[in-house]
């Protein structure tokens, strides 16, 4: 009431100004602040998502790149010809040169694989020569940390930023030791990862991306100024040196930044690499801030124009109302001859015309009002709304089961045991289907559902259908998703009895394997042609379907298996025209202990 009184006491101009600020300026300002915050949040989240995806892509591509020198190192460390060339005793330099010339595997690897730039074999052999492939390590080389680590790690691969003796540049290299002879002598193999290949992976990234070894040295970067530096030399959060794989906020070069870090651990290696990607929040939001500033300018100009327009409108409105108020004051003083002329068609112009008409007939109106006050009858019509509630009756599952049980008992009384058995099977199958939730069930319950279904089909097809259920005893309690075998059996029954007068044989086999359990559903039906089998397999392999699959049961089973256990558990179909069909899937060992 206090606010209403204040608003009523305000002048028209102030009232319009307050109304405009309350109804337009404040909501617009609050909306702008909210949308600005949301825009920044969306931009940062999108950039962070892109950053995470980019880091994972760099990790995968880098892993593929370093697999090449890793595989080559495997081959060379077991290459007896290479060991013989590196370690045999030579009588003359001519013999050395001849042996180097005949052994071309290293040069072939360099020409064949663009992922590597050089291969060096370090073996102590006083009678040999250095040809940049076979190198006699001097004391300086053998004192290097990477050389000592390679000897100590006994054949494991290591990844370090080491100096190439040919051109003096540092490159990311694989180093590993290998036995030269049976006396325990060891040599060291060094394979340089090609800089251009590594740089081509990083240059595609829009954000600062670094590849760092276990000594925190930058072995790869899409910004050349960071290459070869230690992370401690970069003006950033000291925690970046000790942070493990993950994402976090930090400050780099005095700017708030987002950092995503993933580990790359090559197989059979004593150390690994880290992929680090950084983006500055201010750089990411720069374009958004420009849009926000432009929007603020547009909104400010619009508000100024609106204020001027509101002020002009308020002045025009208040001026006419003031004229009308003065004439009303005259009429209130008893001057019934006063008239006002306002040339407009809005509410104020209409009010002035009505005011003039009021003045002309005020006496008659007073009398008429007095008469009509006694005769006036206010008629109110009330409409009663009727709400109709539609009651939907639904058969409760217990009612359905009780009805089936009554039918079964009546069949027993009439000595129709086969019908009673079929009704019992149907009741059991319906109950298990209705009670199936989202959790796993023991294998024996799933097989009992399969048996009930097959007995129902056997009641229908009689001797035309024969089935066999085989399961290892210790697998009966294995947890499996509900309805994971029955749809496959149903598919086998449909196709097994399709156009086969002699009937069908359905076999369900659950067998324990070294790393899990194998489930196999077979039939001796018509099978699939090679073309049809290829279509079904392609259909199951698709991740997104533009139209609904015709094999809903198989597709549903396959999707659940892949989602629960991975691609290795997808359905495997073997079939041939006239030879039946076998569908197999695998439940991994971890699922046996769930």
> Over 90: is that where the pLDDT of 154 sits?
no
Confidence of residue 188 (pLDDT cuts 50, 70, 90): very high
Largest CA distance in the chain: 144
Q: Which token pair is 589?
A: 């060992």
> Over 60: is that where the pLDDT of 326 sits?
yes
Mean pLDDT of the chain: 76
Q: What is the pLDDT of residues 375-425, one digit of tens each?
A: 454 433 333 332 323 233 333 444 444 445 555 555 556 555 566 566 666
Between the alpha carbon of residue 345 and those of residues 98, 348, 351, 360, the distances in Å are 112, 8, 10, 21
Find the Cα–Cα–Cα–Cα dihedral 493, 499, 503, 509, rounded to 10°. -30
Q: What is the pLDDT of residues 367-381, one digit of tens each?
A: 566 665 654 544 333
Q: What is the pLDDT of residues 92-123, one digit of tens each?
A: 888 888 888 889 999 999 999 999 999 999 99
Q: Give CA–CA dist 86/134, Å, rounded.
A: 7
Give me the pLDDT at residue 177, please.
92
Q: Give CA–CA dist 541/553, Å, rounded.
A: 15
Give me the pLDDT at residue 58, please.
87
Give the residue with greater pLDDT, 306 vs 474. Answer: 474
Least confident of 288-297, 366-375, 403-412, 558-567: 403-412
Q: Give CA–CA dist 61/70, Å, rounded.
A: 14
Between the alpha carbon of residue 311 and those of residues 71, 235, 302, 344, the distances in Å are 81, 55, 14, 19
Whether 99 contacts 121, CB under 8 Å = no
State percent of the chain over pLDDT 70.
68
Specify the CATH number of the domain 469-592: 3.30.565.10
Q: Which helix (H) or strand (E) holds 190?
A: strand 186-193
Least confident of 27-36, 474-483, 509-518: 27-36
Confidence of residue 509 (pLDDT cuts 50, 70, 90): very high
Q: What is the pLDDT of residues 348-357, one digit of tens each?
A: 666 666 766 7
Q: Give CA–CA dist 471/453, Å, rounded.
A: 17
Q: Give CA–CA dist 572/552, Å, rounded.
A: 16
Whether 252 contacts 237, CB under 8 Å = yes
Highest mean pLDDT among 156-160, 317-321, 444-448, 561-565: 156-160
Residue whose pair of structure tokens reads 């300002």 in the numeric block: 29
DSSP bridge pairs for 279: 258
> Over 80: is that where the pLDDT of 496 sits?
no
> Over 60: is that where the pLDDT of 128 sits?
yes
> Over 50: is that where the pLDDT of 304 sits?
yes
Between the alpha carbon of residue 445 and those of residues 436, 441, 451, 565, the distances in Å are 10, 7, 10, 20
Residue whose pair of structure tokens reads 């290696």 in the numeric block: 269
Strands 186-193 and 218-221: unpaired
Closest-CA residue to 211 (of 56, 65, 59) = 59
Q: Give CA–CA dist 465/409, Å, rounded.
A: 27
Q: Which pTM was predicted?
A: 0.47
Q: Give CA–CA dist 372/559, Å, rounded.
A: 81
Q: Give CA–CA dist 89/86, Å, rounded.
A: 9
Closest-CA residue to 575 (of 497, 511, 523) = 523
Give the residue with greater pLDDT, 206 vs 502. Answer: 206
Q: Give CA–CA dist 499/517, Å, rounded.
A: 33
Whether 220 contacts 196, CB under 8 Å = no
Cβ-proximal residues to 556 (8 Å cutoff; 6+ apart), any chain: 487
580: buried, middle or exposed (CB in 10 Å: 19+, 13-18, 0-12)? Answer: buried
Least confident of 52-66, 289-303, 518-532, 577-591: 289-303
Q: Which token pair is 423?
A: 């009704």
> Over 50: is that where the pLDDT of 213 sits?
yes
List helix spans (H) across 113-177: 139-142, 145-152
Give me the pLDDT at residue 388, please.
29
> Over 70: is that where the pLDDT of 452 sits?
yes
Q: Give CA–CA dist 71/85, Å, rounded.
A: 21
Give me the pLDDT at residue 527, please.
83
Give me the pLDDT at residue 193, please.
92
**Taking the CB of residue 507, how many other CB atoms lie within 10 A of it?**
18
Q: Which token pair is 57?
A: 């892509």
Q: Using the CB atoms, write b or e for 334-362: b if 16+ within 10 Å.
A: eeeeeebebeeeeebeebbeebeeebeee
Domain ranges of the chain: 11-284, 300-361, 469-592
Q: Which token pair is 240?
A: 């970046």
Q: Give CA–CA dist 99/86, Å, rounded.
A: 9
> Over 70: is that where the pLDDT of 561 sits?
yes
Whether 250 contacts 239, CB under 8 Å = yes
Whether 575 contacts 528, CB under 8 Å = yes
Q: Where are the beta strands (DSSP E) in 444-538?
A: 465-471, 479-480, 504-513, 516-523
Residues 509-536 have a mean pLDDT of 88
Give me the pLDDT at residue 426, please.
62
Cβ-proximal residues to 389 (8 Å cutoff; 6+ apart), any chain: none
Q: What is the pLDDT of residues 225-266, one digit of tens each?
A: 778 888 777 755 666 666 677 777 777 766 777 788 888 888
Give me the pLDDT at residue 113, please.
92
> Over 60: is that where the pLDDT of 150 sits?
yes
Closest-CA residue to 342 (of 315, 318, 323, 368) = 323
Q: Using the CB atoms, write b or e for 96-108: b if 16+ within 10 Å.
A: beebbeebebbee
Whether 253 contacts 236, CB under 8 Å = yes
Q: Which token pair is 1?
A: 């009431």
Q: Give CA–CA dist 231/445, Å, rounded.
A: 59
């Amino acid at each position: 009431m206090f606010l209403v009184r204040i608003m009523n006491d305000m002048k028209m101009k102030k009232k319009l100004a307050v109304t405009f600020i309350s109804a337009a300026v404040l909501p617009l300002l609050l909306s702008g602040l909210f949308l600005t915050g949301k825009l920044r949040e969306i931009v940062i989240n999108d950039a962070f998502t892109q950053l995470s995806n980019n880091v994972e892509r760099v990790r995968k591509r880098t892993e593929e790149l370093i697999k090449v020198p890793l595989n080559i190192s495997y081959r060379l460390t077991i290459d007896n010809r290479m060991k013989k060339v590196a370690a045999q005793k030579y009588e003359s330099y001519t013999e050395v040169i001849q042996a180097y010339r005949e052994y071309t595997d290293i040069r072939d690897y360099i020409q064949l694989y663009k992922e590597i730039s050089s291969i060096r074999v370090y073996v102590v052999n006083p009678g040999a020569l250095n040809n940049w492939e076979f190198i006699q390590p001097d004391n300086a080389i053998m004192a290097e940390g990477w050389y000592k680590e390679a000897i100590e790690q006994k054949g494991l691969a290591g990844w370090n930023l080491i100096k190439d003796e040919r051109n003096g540049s540092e490159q990311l290299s694989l180093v590993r030791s290998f036995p030269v002879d049976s006396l325990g002598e060891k040599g060291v193999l060094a394979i340089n990862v090609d800089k251009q290949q590594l740089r081509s992976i990083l240059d595609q990234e829009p954000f600062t991306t670094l590849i760092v070894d276990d000594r925190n040295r930058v072995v790869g970067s899409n910004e050349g100024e960071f290459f070869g530096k230690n992370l401690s030399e970069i003006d950033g959060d000291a925690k970046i040196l000790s942070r493990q794989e993950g994402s976090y906020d930090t400050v780099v070069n005095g700017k708030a930044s987002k950092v995503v870090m993933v580990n790359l651990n090559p197989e059979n290696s004593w150390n690994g690499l880290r992929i680090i990607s950084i983006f500055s929040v201010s750089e990411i939001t720069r374009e958004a801030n420009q849009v926000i500033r432009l929007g603020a300018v547009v909104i400010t100009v619009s508000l100024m124009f609106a204020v001027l327009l509101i002020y002009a409108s308020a002045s025009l409105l208040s001026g006419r109302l003031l004229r009308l108020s003065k004439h009303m004051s005259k009429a209130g003083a008893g001057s019934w001859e006063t008239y006002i002329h306002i040339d407009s068609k809005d509410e104020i112009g209409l009010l002035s015309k009505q005011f003039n008409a009021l003045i002309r007939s005020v006496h008659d109106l007073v009398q008429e009002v007095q008469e009509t006050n006694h005769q006036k009858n206010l008629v109110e019509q009330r409409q009663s709304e009727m709400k109709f509630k539609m009651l939907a009756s639904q058969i409760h599952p217990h009612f359905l089961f009780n009805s089936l049980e009554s039918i079964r008992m009546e069949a027993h009384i009439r000595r129709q045991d086969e019908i009673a058995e079929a009704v019992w099977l149907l009741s059991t199958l319906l109950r298990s289907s209705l009670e199936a939730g989202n959790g796993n069930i023991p294998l024996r319950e799933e097989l009992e559902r399969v048996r009930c279904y097959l007995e129902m089909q056997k009641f229908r097809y009689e001797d035309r259908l024969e089935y066999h259920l085989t399961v290892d005893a210790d697998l009966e309690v294995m947890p499996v998703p509900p309805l994971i075998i029955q749809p496959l059996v149903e598919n086998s029954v449909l196709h097994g009895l399709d156009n086969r007068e002699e009937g069908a044989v359905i076999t369900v086999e659950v067998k324990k394997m070294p790393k899990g359990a194998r489930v196999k559903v077979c039939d001796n039906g018509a099978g699939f042609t090679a073309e049809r089998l290829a279509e079904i397999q392609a259909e199951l392999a698709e991740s997104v379907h533009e139209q609904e699959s015709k094999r809903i049961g198989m597709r549903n089973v396959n999707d659940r298996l892949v989602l629960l256990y991975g691609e290795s558990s997808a359905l495997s179909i073997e079939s041939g025209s006239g030879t039946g069909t076998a569908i197999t899937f695998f439940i991994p060992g971890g699922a046996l202990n769930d």
